């Protein structure tokens, strides 16, 4: 793949939050998609994952304004495997599609301030970095109930992120609001597990359908569908119920 002629157009994708549930599913689906040539994953640590489409860029999310993606790819291009990606990034006319599934919990972050830094500041910094590389389409994993005016801190932060992203110069902004996520988590969240059992029960009875838990791969599939449809423009909020319908 890296040996293709330098003049060819390549569909480049940027992903942040690849180590999480939705992020990992995004990677696997993007690897399999015929329209995607390169997947550039940004993370604090390198994933134990190899693929011919994958380029991993280790970053400090507190200093994303200092990241030179072209230079980082050049450092890894010793065998010429990433030459076509490098040329495309240097040329600057292959606008990357950007997926962001960055997020944590207050418990994991350790404090509300650190939660805000990760769930808000890192997302906005990643969006700004993406704009520097010509990105025009951005997909963000938010959460059901996101509302900048909410009295619930988690929902308020998610809503603030959404509002700040809407102010940016993207031709398409997809705000994906999943309910409780199903899938394999690295860490155990007892409250969420109890919530999943309860919500499965009430949705089975036909109650509160919009809160029906959704699988990580369904969210990822809905994001890929929306982002690769160039006819979709503007700012769009995709609810959990809509994602269920899109991925039946």
Q: Predicted confidence band at 6 (pLDDT cuts at 50, 70, 90)?
A: very low
On whether the CB atoms of residues 203 and 211 are closer than 8 A, the answer is: yes
Q: Is the pLDDT of residue 203 over 70?
A: no
Lowest mean pLDDT among 159-163, 180-184, 237-241: 180-184
When mean pLDDT is compared over 7-11, 28-32, 89-93, the highest value belongs to: 28-32
Alpha carbon distance 185, 183 (integer Å): 6
Q: Could you give the strand order of the β-sheet that contains 54-58, starting from the edge strand earlier in sequence?
A: 54-58, 38-43, 12-16, 97-100, 137-141, 172-177, 234-239
CA gyration radius, the chain: 18
- Measure the CA–CA gap between 12 and 93, rounded to whole angstroms: 11
| Least confident segment among 52-66, 98-112, 174-188 | 174-188
Q: What is the pTM of this model?
A: 0.89
Arithmetic mean of pLDDT, 152-172: 97
CA dihedral 122, 174, 13, 108 (to 10 degrees): 30
pLDDT of residue 208: 65
Both tokens assigned to 72: 């980082």
pLDDT at 5: 39
CA distance 182 to 70: 36
Averaged over 152-160, what is the pLDDT?
A: 97
pLDDT tier at 211, thresholds 50, 70, 90 = confident
Q: How many beta carbons lie within 10 A of that of residue 22, not counting itself? A: 26
């Amino acid at each position: 793949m890296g040996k293709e002629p330098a003049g060819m157009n390549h569909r480049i994708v940027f992903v942040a939050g690849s180590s999480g549930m939705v992020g990992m599913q995004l990677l696997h689906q993007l690897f399999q998609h015929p329209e995607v040539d390169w997947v550039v994953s940004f993370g604090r640590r390198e994933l134990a994952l190899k693929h011919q489409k994958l380029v991993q860029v280790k970053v400090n999310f507190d200093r994303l304004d200092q990241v030179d993606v072209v230079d980082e790819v050049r450092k890894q291009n010793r065998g010429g495997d990433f030459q076509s990606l490098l040329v495309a990034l240097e040329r600057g006319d292959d606008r990357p599609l950007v997926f962001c599934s960055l997020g944590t919990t207050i418990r994991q972050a350790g404090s509300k301030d650190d939660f805000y830094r990760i769930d808000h500041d890192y997302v906005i910094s990643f969006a700004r970095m993406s704009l520097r590389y010509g990105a025009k389409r951005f997909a963000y994993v938010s959460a059901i109930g996101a509302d900048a005016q909410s009295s619930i801190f988690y929902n308020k932060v998610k809503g603030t992120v959404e509002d700040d992203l809407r102010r940016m110069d993207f031709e398409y902004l997809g705000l994906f609001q999943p309910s409780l996520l199903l899938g394999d988590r690295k860490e155990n969240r007892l409250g969420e597990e109890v919530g999943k059992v309860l919500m499965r029960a009430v949705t089975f009875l036909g109650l509160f359908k919009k809160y029906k838990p959704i699988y990580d791969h369904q969210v990822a599939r809905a994001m890929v569908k929306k982002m690769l449809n160039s006819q979709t423009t503007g700012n769009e909020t995709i609810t959990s119920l809509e994602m269920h319908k899109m991925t039946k």
